[in-house]
Amino acid sequence: MHRRINITLPDETIELIDQVIEKGDSPEERLRQRSRFINEAVQYYIAQKTLANLREQLKEGAIQRAERDLGLVEEWFDLEEELWHRNEK
C-alpha cells in the first residue's frame, strides 16, 4: 500500500536526487523515480539508526556488567588456581 504525502525539499537536494535516479521519459515517471529513491533512502537511514542504537545498548550493557563480571572472576580465581595446581601433581 502506498500513501501520497507532500514534502518540501531544497532545490539542491532535488538536484542531487535527479543526478542519481534513472531518467524517466515523462514527468510522472520522474516523480515515481524520486519517490522510490526517497523511500529507499529513508529505509536505509532508519536501518542504520536502529543498528547504531542497538550497538550503543550493547555497549552500555557490557559496561554495566563489567564490574559484576570482574567480581566473579576475582571470586573464582583462587579456587581455580588451587584446582589447577592439584591437577598438575
Give CA–CA dist 89/78, Å, rounded. Answer: 17
Query: How high is the pLDDT of residue 89?
Result: 64
pLDDT digits (tens, 9 = 90+) for 26-71: 988 989 999 999 999 999 999 999 999 999 999 999 988 898 888 8
User: Measured between alpha carbons, how far is 53 from 11 in angstroms, rounded to an integer?
Assistant: 32
Q: Name the grid cell of 21.
A: 535516479
pTM of the predicted model, to two decimals?
A: 0.66
